[in-house]
């Protein structure tokens, strides 16, 4: 009888050790999967949750994720329905981002580049506010190239060109956000 209890105890210890080993391996696999997620994957997983993207000390864009590209995200504002386009490289902090994610292979990722999204805005002739590392510019996108865009500034916010309207070239690397006016 005594040997039976010893064997039962050893079997219990062995089963417990196996469970602990499986838990450790599972936790390590979870950490390895999480390490491969990008900000774009997390943004795709946000669903209808409202987010606030912090792009600088006093610059924020708020809305629900509308579309996510490889290097950009589009948010739709709740109130006015305006669309913001933000390069992912400009995002410093994100408020409201849930823990879930949708990797690119599990969800449709926009094949459009940031340039193609900006060309769409230029075609619409929408008045936008460009936030750049050098400051803000209000106007219409006149032309979008591979690494820069031209903006017809509207310094006083009118819908049409007025005295003082200038053509300004903005480098894509300086772009923080394209916000609705």
Alpha carbons 25 and 39: distance in angstroms, whole number: 25
User: Do 48 and 6 reside in the same domain of the chain?
Assistant: no
Between 160 and 36, whose confidence is greater?
36
Model confidence at 80: pLDDT above 70: no
- Name the strand (E) or helix (H) holding 152: strand 148-153
User: Mapping DSSP to helix (H, G, I), strand (E, B) and coil, where does residue 52 land?
Assistant: strand
Domain that holds residue 50: 39-106
Q: Work out how many domains the chain is built from and give that number.
A: 3
The residues pairing with 178 across neighbouring beta strands, listed in sequence order, are 85, 130
> Do 20 and 12 meet the contact criterion of CB atoms below 8 Å apart?
no
User: Do 122 and 154 reside in the same domain of the chain?
Assistant: yes
**Model confidence, pTM:** 0.75
| pLDDT value for 108 | 62
| SS3 of the chain: helix, strand, coil, percent, to 5 | 35, 35, 35
> Do 96 and 50 meet the contact criterion of CB atoms below 8 Å apart?
yes
User: Do 120 and 171 reside in the same domain of the chain?
Assistant: yes
C-alpha distances out from residue 42 to 87, 125, 147, 155, 174, Å:
15, 31, 26, 37, 24
Model confidence at 78: pLDDT above 70: yes
For the chain, what percent of residues have pLDDT higher than 90?
50
| pLDDT value for 87 | 97
Question: Among 51, 71, 106, which residue terminates a domain?
Answer: 106
User: Do 61 and 31 reside in the same domain of the chain?
Assistant: no
Render pLDDT for 7-42 as a digit per residue (tens, 0 to 9). 778 788 888 888 888 887 777 766 666 677 889 989
* Burial class of residue 61 in the structure, from the number of CB atoms within 10 Å of its CB (0-12 exposed, 13-18 middle, 19+ buried): buried
pLDDT band (50, 70, 90) for residue 93: very high
* Closest CA relative to residue 121, chosen from 134, 109, 112: 112
User: Do 99 and 73 reside in the same domain of the chain?
Assistant: yes
Mean pLDDT of the chain: 86
Render pLDDT for 122-157 as a digit per residue (tens, 0 to 9). 999 989 999 999 999 999 999 999 999 999 988 665
């Amino acid at each position: 009888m005594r040997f039976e209890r010893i064997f039962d105890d050893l079997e219990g210890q062995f089963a417990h050790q196996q469970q602990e080993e499986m838990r450790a391996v599972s936790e390590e696999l979870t950490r390895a999967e999480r390490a491969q997620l990008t900000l774009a994957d997390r943004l795709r997983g946000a669903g209808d949750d409202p987010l606030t993207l912090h792009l600088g000390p006093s610059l924020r864009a708020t809305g629900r994720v509308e579309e996510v590209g490889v290097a950009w995200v589009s948010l739709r504002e709740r109130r006015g329905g305006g669309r913001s386009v933000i390069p992912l490289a400009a995002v410093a902090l994100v408020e409201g981002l849930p823990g879930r994610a949708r990797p690119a292979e599990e969800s449709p990722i926009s094949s459009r580049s940031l340039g193609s999204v900006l060309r769409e805005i230029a075609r619409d002739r929408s008045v936008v506010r460009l936030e750049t590392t050098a400051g803000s510019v209000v106007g219409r996108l006149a032309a979008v190239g591979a690494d820069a865009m031209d903006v017809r500034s509207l310094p006083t916010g009118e819908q049409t060109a007025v005295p003082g309207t200038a053509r300004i070239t903005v480098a894509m690397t300086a772009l923080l956000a394209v916000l609705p006016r």
